[in-house]
Amino acid sequence: MTRIIVAATSIYGHVAPMLTVAKDLIARGHDVTFVTGSAYREVVEATGATFAPVAGAADIDMGVEVNRPERLALAPGIEQFAYDMRALFIDAIPEQFRVLDRLLAEAGEPVVLVHEVWFWGGVPFSLGAATPHAPSATIAVGITQLTVSSIDLAPYGAGLPPERTELGRARNRKLHQHQLAGPLGQTQRHYDDTLRTLGVFGEVPYFLDTVAHHSDRLLQLSLEELSYVRPDLPKTVEFVGALPSPPANVDLPAWWNEVVQADQVVVVTQGTFANHDLTELLEPAMQALADLPVLVVAATGCDVTLTDIPENARVAQYIPFAQLLPETDLLITNGGFGGVQQSLSYGVPMALAGVAEEKLESNVRVAATGAAIDLATQRPTPAAIRAAALEVLGNKDYRVAAGRLQTQYAELDPLAAVAATVDELSGAAATDPFPGPGGFNR
């Protein structure tokens, strides 16, 4: 048995995959303490883990955060991304670190830290913070697109394909420098200052590179193709596939048999996070598909009453993907990485619309596989949605590409990979295999 701390940022899409990881580690006989926000006590304790709450800036209420006037005043894309990095993740570091430091002090024995990549409270330990405590090993779990920079890539968030020529690499360097001179410069300075307050005195890496270069292992819940094959990928990174769809104890809707019997099913959803404005995608998609010979399943992800529902559409707040995706011919979504991964693991092609949060970058990468069309906007028109739907449904190449990725996912077992890595690293002192700053040289 190994003592393990599982940690997740207090945001549903970050907590949910780590609950699956924690439950599996407990089933394998490990002693797990789960660190996250107070709203998740009940679901954490249901796994059998000990719950350790964070407070203050780390105890995030997304209903409040996404609607802050200062955030809404920023353009979707890199400006909102930079704001979110500061408000949601960097501001949470001191409290996350405080809780981890206390738990490590109380443990009195080696403890392995398993955290999702956006929980940065473990970073100070890796960078020499002023504390006598540290995890015996640190394992990061990549729940979103891999953010680590590369000589072949424009900065994460730019939504640009790789450029591998010398001229292209010069372009990439200039774009990195431009971002740090502009939108992300304030974020990097805030990251530096925050870590300094915790006793980090050495060089502070680029904030999006830190976890990949200063963890014992980064287990990326993805396939390498979705992160672009690159020559300078840190040796710490391992691609381990997608987590299985979590079981859900919910009743299927009364009209479920229509889904099973339909010739073609199109699912439309804005996920569980960016669903506060369904006029962005869900409602125009139903309008766009209203006269097509398909059954449209609209999953709202929130408690809302819709009007003007077309005759060929059925609406539910939630239907488990494990039941829905095997019946689906096309998924129209804003590109939340968890949903995208699940769709590809079932071989379902997509039409993607979204440029906020990580979606701009994610959607470009998924479209590059040939399994999706990227509409490259937050608010696609019904005409654009309709054209994309007809293209994907009428062109078997999208389904073939999605099927190819499905085969790759089927060959991987991320839960077994996490457990094997814990067994491999438990009891060993955490070391940094990259003594230099790594990644993009600021």
Q: What is the pLDDT of residues 210-256, one digit of tens each?
A: 999 999 999 999 999 999 999 999 999 999 999 987 766 788 999 99
> Does a structural domain hold residue 246?
no
Residues 203 and 279 in one domain: no
Report the CATH number at residue 416: 3.40.50.2000
Residues 273 and 216 in one domain: no
Residues 317 and 396 in one domain: yes
Residues 406 and 417 in one domain: no
Burial of 234 (0-12, 13-18, 19+ CB in 10 A): buried
Nearby residues of 157 by Cβ (< 8 Å), 6 or more positions away: 77, 78, 81, 179, 184, 358, 360, 361
CA dihedral 303, 305, 309, 315 (to 10 degrees): 30
The single-letter code of the amino acid at 211 is: V
* Structure token pair of residue 408: 């790759």
Residues 165 and 42 in one domain: yes
Our CA angle for 151, 153, 158, nearest 5°, is 140
Residues 299 and 380 in one domain: yes
Supply the range of the domain harboring residue 195.
3-241+412-425
Domain count, the chain: 2
d(CA 266, CA 327): 9
Q: Give me the tens of pLDDT residue by residue for the chain, a chain 442 residues long.
A: 899 999 999 998 899 999 999 999 999 999 999 999 999 999 999 999 999 999 999 999 988 888 899 998 988 778 888 999 999 999 999 999 999 999 999 998 999 999 999 999 999 999 999 899 999 999 999 999 999 999 999 998 888 889 999 999 999 999 999 989 988 999 999 999 999 999 999 899 999 999 999 999 999 999 999 999 999 999 999 999 999 877 667 889 999 999 999 999 999 998 766 667 888 899 999 999 999 999 999 998 877 888 889 999 999 988 888 899 999 999 999 878 888 999 999 999 999 998 776 788 889 999 999 999 999 998 999 999 999 999 999 999 999 999 999 999 999 999 999 999 999 998 543 444 333 334 444 4
d(CA 286, CA 309): 7
Task: State pTM to two decimals.
Answer: 0.89
> Does a structural domain hold residue 218?
yes
> Does a structural domain hold residue 198?
yes
> Does a structural domain hold residue 43?
yes
CA dihedral 13, 240, 432, 34 (to 10 degrees): 40
Phi, psi of 260 (to 5 degrees): -65, -35
> Does a structural domain hold residue 155?
yes
The answer to whether 356 touches 80, Cβ cutoff 8 Å, is: yes
